[in-house]
Amino acid sequence: MKNDFRKMEDEMDRLATNMAVITEFSARISATLQDRHERITKLAGVHALLRKLQFLFELPSRLTKCVELGAYGQAVRYQGRARAVLQQYQHLPSFRAIQDDCQVITARLAQQLRQRFREGGSGAPEQAECVELLLALGEPAEELCEEFLAHARGRLEEELRSLEAELGPSPPAPDVLEFTDHGGSGFVSGLCQVAAAYQELFAAQGPAGAEKLAAFARELGSRYFALVERRLAQEQGGGDNSLLVRALDRFHRRLRAPGALLAAAGLAEAATEIVERVARERLGHHLQGLQAAFLGCLTDVRQALAAPRMAGKEGPGLAELLANVASSILSHIKASLASVHLFTAKEVSFSNKPYFRGEFCSQGVREGLIVGFIRSMCQTAQSFCDSPGEKGGATPPALLLLLSRLCLDYETATISYILTLTDEQFLVQDQSPVTPVSTLCAEARETARRLLTHYVKVQGLVISQMLRKSVETRDWLSTLEPRNVRAVMKRVVEDTTAIDVQVGLLYEEGVRKAQSSDSSKRTFSVYSSSRQQGRYAPSYTPSAPMDTNLLSNIQKLFSERIDVFSPVEFNKVSVLTGIIKISLKTLLECVRLRTFGRFGLQQVQVDCHFLQLYLWRFVADEELVHLLLDEVVASAALRCPDPVPMEPSVVEVICERG
């Protein structure tokens, strides 16, 4: 090992001396080459400078060639490189000359670029390129913005014009869906592109630039909306909303993209507003449709009632007509609800806007359409009560009856059914006040009551006129001994029976007081029993007449006063009672105005007995008929200077025979 170390030491020494020698040689080389090195560096530098100068001197021609060739990008690049240097050395005349040349050419270049930009036949990317280059050339950015926007405006306006042309009367106008598609793909996508390009290019411009874009978008957007609204306004008819809803959906959807891009322009809000307006109009339209349908039903009913019955074929019964009307209205309502429901379908893009979720459902559909329709139905029905024709010639009484039953049915069942249906389909999500079911039901009941009251008045009037004429035109003083019941009384009974049947078709029987077993055989026992003095013989002493009058007055005190017009209940018996009360009261008043001979009185007796035989079964309380008829005969007796009433048995015989 010692030997190894000794060898290494020797070698290390030899290495050191070699290194020293190498170092010395290297230093000697660099010293000699030093000189050459500097000279070469200098030459390289000069070469580079010369190349730059050559570039500069050749710049004008190169630029010109580029411009001619159309390689604008390159030209702009050259220009960019040279600009700073030229700027710095422009005090040197030769550089100045070059700079001037370059400027001229650059101006020409810019002009050409602008020309290309303006011509615009090229697509958007090329335009973007032009704009980029122009920006790189140092053109003022606002001008470029303006030009860019002006150019875009020209393109978009052309789109708008083509849309407008579709609105014109030239046939055939495409349907709404196509229109919105066209608009969407043409105008809206163009707007999107412009907006995107603008924002890219002029992002450096800051808020002023964005503001310009927003203004631009707003203006063009408003024109577009105006066109869309015009087109939608043309979409009047048809109950079917599906096409309209789809078109609106597309329209709304397309505007989401530019809406996001151009939030400041408020495009999306304006679109939503348009859709809301259209929805409202459609609701109004549906309401009118429902009202027209209702009036149509009524006209049909009137025609059916007025149509002459063909021999052997019964016309449609009242109950059938009522069922038809009710079902037809219900089906119309359901159809309207279904078609309006499309507006809130889930797939539709605007269906979760706050308007549609809230106000549309509660105020628009429930209040405006359904409640509004029910109210207008009630009003139309009530208008039949106020018709000026006092003789009832305008409105057939059967129609009044039908309408009152319809309103009553609505109050009991249909209104709540319809409103439940509406609420299910349109889940109300806002808190605006809605009409409760009870209010509507109360209104419907009131309408039904008024109609029924009017019906009673009208029918009562018809019978009263008959009775009045019969009393006023007959000569009661010189009439002969009665042999039979007068024809008019039979007519009255027939008419009352017919009314009873008619009302019975639609209304329930109602409650009547239990009849005593001998009611049909009642004779004038009241008449004779109330005058306890037996026969009403004429008497000249003051006491007797006083007694009978007193007796009848006392009897009146204890019997219930007959209210001729008490409110009518919704059943057949009440209706008939009202009609009979009116008719008999008329008879009473007319009888009090005439003077009767003896046989006249007897004829009245016979007539009243006949009426009593047949009318008691129609009224709720048969005492009523007895009372009124007794009053009639008593008044007739008072009007007779020679009252000799007929024997009750004879009266009965005549009545049975007649």
What is the Cβ-side half-sphere exposure of residue 126, based on CA atoms within 13 angstroms? 13
Report which of 481, 484, 489, 480 is spatially closest to residue 653, judged by C-alpha positions: 484
For residue 140, say if its preceding peptide bond is cis, omega within 30 degrees of 0.
no
Report which of 249, 131, 288 is spatially closest to residue 194, judged by C-alpha positions: 131
Site for other proteins in 510-539 (CB under 8 A): 538-539
Report which of 564, 318, 603, 605 is spatially closest to residue 460, judged by C-alpha positions: 564
Q: Is 390 in the site for other proteins (CB under 8 A)?
A: yes
CB nearer to other proteins: pick between 173 and 562: 562
Least separation in angstroms between CB 498 and other proteins: 23
Tokens of 343: 């507006």
Least separation in angstroms between CB 643 and other proteins: 10
Q: Is 449 in the site for other proteins (CB under 8 A)?
A: no
Cβ distance 484 to 452 under 8 Å? Answer: no
The 10 Å Cβ neighbour count of residue 202 is 22
CB nearer to other proteins: pick between 3 and 553: 553
3 state DSSP class of 29:
helix
Site for other proteins in 633-652 (CB under 8 A): 635, 638-639, 641
CB nearer to other proteins: pick between 125 and 542: 542
Tokens of 417: 């059914």
Pick the piece of the chain touching other proteins (CB under 8 A) from 2-10, 146-154, 295-303, 631-639.
Answer: 631-639
Select the residue interacting with other proteins from 597, 627, 629, 655 (CB under 8 A).
597
What is the Cβ-side half-sphere exposure of residue 336, based on CA atoms within 13 angstroms? 27
Taking the C-alpha atoms of residue 651 and residue 609, their distance in angstroms, rounded to an integer, is 7
Select the residue interacting with other proteins from 3, 553, 649, 657 (CB under 8 A).
553
Cβ distance 605 to 599 under 8 Å? Answer: no
Pick the piece of the chain touching other proteins (CB under 8 A) from 49-57, 150-158, 219-227, 556-564.
Answer: 556-564
The 10 Å Cβ neighbour count of residue 329 is 21
Q: Is 478 in the site for other proteins (CB under 8 A)?
A: yes
Pick the piece of the chain touching other proteins (CB under 8 A) from 184-192, 587-595, 612-620, 649-657.
Answer: 587-595
Count of residues near other proteins by CB under 8 A: 28
Least separation in angstroms between CB 171 and other proteins: 52
Q: Is 592 in the site for other proteins (CB under 8 A)?
A: yes
Least separation in angstroms between CB 406 and other proteins: 26
Report which of 391, 620, 630, 629 is spatially closest to residue 489, judged by C-alpha positions: 629
Select the residue interacting with other proteins from 246, 564, 617, 648 (CB under 8 A).
564
Report which of 256, 240, 395, 414 is spatially closest to residue 325, judged by C-alpha positions: 414
CA 526 to chain CA mean position, Å: 65
Residue 353: C-alpha distances to residues 265, 288, 341, 344, 429 (Å): 19, 26, 15, 10, 12
Cβ distance 206 to 139 under 8 Å? Answer: no
C-alpha torsion 127→133→138→144, nearest 10: 0
Q: Is 450 in the site for other proteins (CB under 8 A)?
A: no
Pick the piece of the chain touching other proteins (CB under 8 A) from 291-299, 375-383, 519-527, 563-571.
Answer: 563-571
Determine the straight-line distance between the first and last CA of the chain, rounded to whole angstroms: 170
Q: Is 557 in the site for other proteins (CB under 8 A)?
A: yes
Q: Is 549 in the site for other proteins (CB under 8 A)?
A: yes
Select the residue interacting with other proteins from 391, 424, 431, 657 (CB under 8 A).
391
Least separation in angstroms between CB 556 and other proteins: 5
Q: Is 545 in the site for other proteins (CB under 8 A)?
A: yes
Encode 210-270 in three state secondary structure.
HHHHHHHHHHHHHHHHHHHHHHHHCCCCCCCCHHHHHHHHHHHHHCHHHHHHCHHHCHHHH
Cβ distance 463 to 397 under 8 Å? Answer: no
Q: Is 417 in the site for other proteins (CB under 8 A)?
A: no
Pick the piece of the chain touching other proteins (CB under 8 A) from 61-69, 101-109, 266-274, 585-593.
Answer: 585-593
Pick the piece of the chain touching other proteins (CB under 8 A) from 77-85, 485-493, 554-562, 620-628.
Answer: 554-562
Tokens of 105: 């050419």
Q: Is 585 in the site for other proteins (CB under 8 A)?
A: yes
Q: Is 469 in the site for other proteins (CB under 8 A)?
A: no
Q: Is 565 in the site for other proteins (CB under 8 A)?
A: yes
Least separation in angstroms between CB 402 and other proteins: 24
Select the residue interacting with other proteins from 309, 313, 346, 561 (CB under 8 A).
561
Pick the piece of the chain touching other proteins (CB under 8 A) from 69-77, 416-424, 553-561, 616-624.
Answer: 553-561
CB nearer to other proteins: pick between 326 and 590: 590
Q: Is 595 in the site for other proteins (CB under 8 A)?
A: yes
Select the residue interacting with other proteins from 170, 431, 563, 657 (CB under 8 A).
563
Least separation in angstroms between CB 602 and other proteins: 15
Sign of CA dihedral 172, 173, 179, 182: positive
Interacting residues with other proteins (CB under 8 A): 390-391, 477-478, 538-540, 542, 545, 549, 552-553, 556-557, 561, 563-565, 582, 585, 589, 592, 595, 597, 635, 638-639, 641
